[in-house]
Amino acid sequence: MTYTGCNLCQADNSSLLFTKDSLKIVKCLECGLIYVNPQPSEEELRTIYKNGYFNGTWQSDYLTEKKLYGPRFRERLKDIDSLKTKGKLLDVGCAVGYFLEAARQDGWEASGVEISSYASEFAKKSGFDVFTGRLEDAGYPDKHFDVVTLWHVLEHMRDPAGCLREIHRILKDSGVLAVELPNIESKRSKKSGENWDQLKPREHLYYFTPGALRRIVEKTGFQVVRVSTLPKGTHIGEKLEHLGWTRMKKWLIRFYPLTQWIKKILLRIKKVAGEDDIILLYALKAKPE
């Protein structure tokens, strides 16, 4: 465990919000960033992301559920396409490579970074160039990529500002940064307090509000194009898994177009209801400060 100052403003002035799973979640009294302190060591994190993470309990059928991730990824690619002409895309935390595949189908030259060797080997087998380890250790050349994506990844890192600075270095001028992560300012988070399902301090070391995400991105040299909040996609497969209906889930995958149609309607209802579980941000590489 390592004691750390605030990753956004460097202050060492925080108050305790929650203690969960024997870890302390604190809020910086200077800038409002919420983070786990002290933090698990690099070594402890590596243990968490060993094989079990991608084929363990919460995603036991991750590999068979590929199709269910498709629509969300296609939506994100539509956003990216509106900001950038096709070129080199890097997905940091690419897991087994579903987004890489969606990006390739969309015409991008897609590669990835993944800390879990189990997951990265899987992506490599699908023909993708994937670096196994931390982004900072990959050593990509300066101004190499047109787009870098971080889908539910930044909150897992020990040094999000450092990761964003590295992304700034490897992006071409006016390259696109895309980030999606849980919103700690969401209605659901406020209502659930320490029982919020995204409050999992072993994995999520940082908790962002839309404002804090904007500030850390701007501080590391980006110009924000858009920050929005949106409902968490209904993952029917995951829901059913909780209920233990594995067979039913397989059936739903079989009748994929129907389930997608149902999901779309549910998502629209959630949007109208103002659900705001997720923060989605797009930014462009600007000149460094």
Q: Is 187 exposed, middle or buried (0-12, 13-18, 19+ CB in 10 A)?
A: middle
Residue burial 109-138, b: 16+ Cβ < 10 Å; e: rest: ebbbbbbbbbbbebbbeeebebbbebbeeb
Q: Which stretch binds Zn ion (CB under 5 A): 10-18, 92-100, 144-152, 258-266?
A: 10-18
Among 9, 119, 213, 283, contact with Zn ion (rule: CB under 5 A): 9
* Residues in 32-61 that interact with Zn ion by CB under 5 A: 33
Q: Which stretch binds Zn ion (CB under 5 A): 8-16, 60-68, 204-212, 279-287?
A: 8-16
Rounded to the nearest whole angstrom, what is the least distance from the CB of residue 209 to Zn ion in the complex?
Answer: 12
* CA dist., res. 60 & res. 52, Å (int): 9
Count of all residues that appear for the chain in the document: 289
* CA dist., res. 228 & res. 212, Å (int): 13
Instruction: Please say which residue, 26 or 68, places its beta carbon nearer to Zn ion.
Output: 26
Among 25, 26, 31, 176, contact with Zn ion (rule: CB under 5 A): 31
Q: Are 122 and 97 in contact (CB under 8 A)?
A: yes
Instruction: Please say which residue, 31 or 135, places its beta carbon nearer to Zn ion.
Output: 31
Instruction: Please say which residue, 210 or 233, places its beta carbon nearer to Zn ion.
Output: 210
Rounded to the nearest whole angstrom, what is the least distance from the CB of residue 24 to Zn ion in the complex?
Answer: 16
Among 28, 96, 113, 205, contact with Zn ion (rule: CB under 5 A): 28
Taking CB under 5 A as the rule, does residue 6 contact Zn ion?
yes
Q: φ and ψ at 219, to 5 degrees?
A: -65, -30
Instruction: Please say which residue, 7 or 132, places its beta carbon nearer to Zn ion.
Output: 7
Taking CB under 5 A as the rule, does residue 213 contact Zn ion?
no
* CA dist., res. 85 & res. 186, Å (int): 33
The torsion region of residue 267 among left (phi > 0), alpha (psi -120 to 50) and beta comes to alpha
Among 8, 90, 96, 279, contact with Zn ion (rule: CB under 5 A): 8
Q: Which stretch binds Zn ion (CB under 5 A): 27-35, 63-71, 140-148, 174-182?
A: 27-35
For tokens 């670096």, what's the residue? Answer: 131
Which tokens go with 157?
Answer: 């890192």
Rounded to the nearest whole angstrom, what is the least distance from the CB of residue 15 to Zn ion in the complex?
Answer: 12
Q: Which stretch binds Zn ion (CB under 5 A): 6-14, 58-66, 83-91, 195-203?
A: 6-14
Among 17, 20, 30, 70, contact with Zn ion (rule: CB under 5 A): 30
Closest C-alpha to 140, from 80, 174, 176, 91 = 91
- Binding residues for Zn ion (CB under 5 A): 6, 8-9, 11, 28, 30-31, 33
